[in-house]
Amino acid sequence: MKHLYSNLQRYFHFYKYEILGVALLQHLFIGIFIHDLDLYIHYIWPLNMVIVGIASIGVYIEKEWWKRLIKNGLLMILIGMPISLWFHFEVSISFLIWINILYFIFFSFIFFEILKFLFQPNYINLDLIVASICGYLLLIELATFAFQLFFYQYPNCFIGVHGVNPVDTYASFIYFSTVTITGIGFGDISPTMHYTKLLTSLFGIAGQLYSVLLIGILISKFSNRK
């Protein structure tokens, strides 16, 4: 048993960014394949967080104990909150606001670890490339939950968002966050109040800045390698 645990730990450490990248992709886009919203809310939602939590193990294997403690504590809360819906717990506005705050903190925690790694090594390898992709996906996660947090507090702060069901809202803001950060900006979803306009602008700048910094980092590391 101890040997199996040791092998799993090495596997998660060696492929930590590949595993995290796949987990983030399914967390953001698995709704493409799910048509039953009740199934998504009651089962896919908590399962998603279990997968992301397991996938983040490798990133924190060599980190300080308190970082693992905070990450695991947040994860347990984020798994427990959707599971509470099994017992007919009401999906209130305050519930949705708090879960978006916790999601934002959880993914921020992982995002900063990814950024630290991108700035550290003086070489380019597969880990660096995959970690940069994880950072981009995490930026979309952060934007999604920041936008949702404002939307649940002020429902009129966006137009074009389907707010009938939390899953519809989540899908709408994944889409909006992606087109904002990538700079596509179709315009079918738009902020209507000054704070959401500024927040959208901020994430638009963050997406472009991340891309520019990443290109600079990769060129610099490639030059050092040469």
Q: For each of the chain's 226 residues, which pLDDT tens digit applies?
A: 655 556 777 777 788 899 999 999 999 999 888 887 778 877 888 888 889 988 888 888 878 888 888 888 988 888 888 777 777 666 788 888 999 999 999 999 999 999 888 887 666 778 888 999 999 999 999 999 999 999 999 989 999 997 778 888 999 999 999 999 998 888 899 999 999 999 999 999 999 999 888 887 777 766 665 5
Positive/negative CA dihedral, 42, 43, 46, 48: negative
**Which pairing describes strands 158-159 and 190-191: parallel, antiparallel, or unpaired?**
antiparallel
pLDDT of residue 13: 76
Reported pTM: 0.90
Please identify which residue in the block is written with the tokens 């600079």: 216
Q: Which residues contact 63 (CB under 8 A, 6 or more apart)?
A: 113
Please identify which residue in the block is written with the tokens 């209130």: 92
Closest residue by Cα to residue 101 from 173, 54, 149: 149
pLDDT of residue 72: 86
End-to-end CA distance of the chain: 44
**Is 215 in a helix, a strand, or coil?**
helix
Q: What share of the chain is helix, strand, coil (3-state, %, to 5)?
A: 80, 0, 15
| Position 173, amino acid | F
Closest residue by Cα to residue 124 from 17, 212, 217: 217
Distance CA 179, CA 165 (A): 22
